[in-house]
Amino acid sequence: MNQFRFSRRPDIGDKVRVSFEFFPPKTDEMEARLWDTVTRLEPLKPKFVSVTYGAGGSTRERTARTVKRILNETTLTPAAHMTCVDAARHEVDAVVREFAEMGVKRFVALRGDPAAGVGTAYRPHPDGYANGAELVGALKGAGDFDISVSAYPEKHPESPDFATDFDMLKRKADNGATRAITQFFFDNDLYERYVEKARRAGIYIPIVPGILPVHNFTQVANFSARCGALVPAWLAERFEGLQNDPQTHALVASAVAAEQVLDLVERGVSDFHFYTMNRADLVFAICHMIGIRSHETEVAGSAAA
């Protein structure tokens, strides 16, 4: 039972590090929700927080504005996502310079999804970076940046086989990536096997699990189908019948994610990247369970003791 394994290791919070992913808000209302989330999660002192970048640079300004605000108004360290879709090299390089001048030292370097949509063939810009590995090389040449890249425990949907995927991940590592962050997954065995295979393929950078708390099971199931992530039958069963019961849905989601993370801790994983969907509650609860507490929580806890 996870809770017994966990209670034997009370120092766990000292060993676990987390990072959080946000997306740039589109509306004033979404912006307010993002900043509530950032404010709530900031005291957990994540290693970094990343801000996604729309394919084709569609969110360039919003990503930049969000990153700038994080730099100026919080104690957090931002990482800017970058993609290569529909952009010439000089355009990508200019965005990198813009971020660097702002004070950004971390990037998440991605090729991005095909401009015509997931499932269509990817066509690199004729003067652009063709894939994640080429972008990593360009970033490394532009400065001493911390660079995260993507990894796919269930294989990238466009990739013919795992060997092609590992070849790309190795190229990204060889070009200077600091760590890989995985696509979300729900079966920890898949992740563990993937990491073992990566090591055998000569890839030694940390492969940080990307954890997606299930805010809305129906949406997650649809999204998983598009990005090739398996939704196990047991997961569907847990959320069955909860579409119109948001409170129970949230309780179950928190239990599911905590179970997944605690099991990974038990398997020796110490770094986690949370896809927050710009919502704090589930992530905050899961962090609490793995021993990551805000200063305020500790103070409140010791006052009550």
Cβ at position 235, least distance to ligand FAD in Å:
19
Residue type, 218: T
Judged by CB under 6 A, which of 68, 81, 179, 215 binds ligand FAD? 81
CB of 253 to ligand FAD, least distance (A): 20
Virtual torsion, Cα 231, 239, 210, 74, nearest 10 deg: 150
CB atoms within 10 A of CB 120: 11
35 vs 177: CA distance, rounded Å: 29
Q: Taking CB under 6 A as the rule, does residue 179 contact ligand FAD?
A: no
Does residue 113 belong to the site contacting ligand FAD (CB under 6 A)?
Answer: yes
Contact flag: residue 122 with ligand FAD (CB under 6 A):
yes
Stretch that binds ligand FAD, among 33-41, 153-161, 231-239, 288-296 (CB under 6 A): 153-161
Among 60, 62, 106, 111, binds ligand FAD (CB under 6 A): 111
In angstroms, the CA 187 to CA 264 distance is 10
> Is 108 among the residues that bind ligand FAD (CB under 6 A)?
yes
Stretch that binds ligand FAD, among 2-10, 36-44, 161-169, 211-219 (CB under 6 A): 161-169
Is the torsion defined by CA of 260, 266, 269, 272 positive or negative? Answer: positive
State in angstroms the smallest separation of the CB of 68 from ligand FAD.
17
- 120 sits near ligand FAD (criterion: CB under 6 A): no
Active-site annotation holds for 21: yes
CA distance linking residue 243 with residue 207, whole number of Å: 33
What are 159-166's contacts with CB under 8 Å, separation 24+?
A: 162/197, 166/197, 166/198, 166/201, 166/203
Question: Between β-strands 17-22 and 146-151, what pairing exists: parallel, antiparallel or unpaired?
Answer: unpaired
Binding mask 230-259 for ligand FAD (x = CB under 6 A): ------------------------------
Q: How far is the CB of 159 from ligand FAD (least distance, A)?
A: 3
Q: Assess contact for 18 and 41: CB atoms under 8 A.
A: no
Does the footprint of ligand FAD cover residue 128 (CB under 6 A)? no
Question: Binding to ligand FAD by residue 213, rule CB under 6 A?
Answer: no
| Token code pair at residue 227 | 């990005």
Cβ atoms < 10 Å from Cβ of 234? 10
Catalytic residue numbers, as ranges = 21
Residues near ligand FAD, by CB under 6 A: 52-55, 81, 83, 108, 110-113, 122, 131-132, 150, 156, 158-159, 164-165, 168, 181, 183, 210
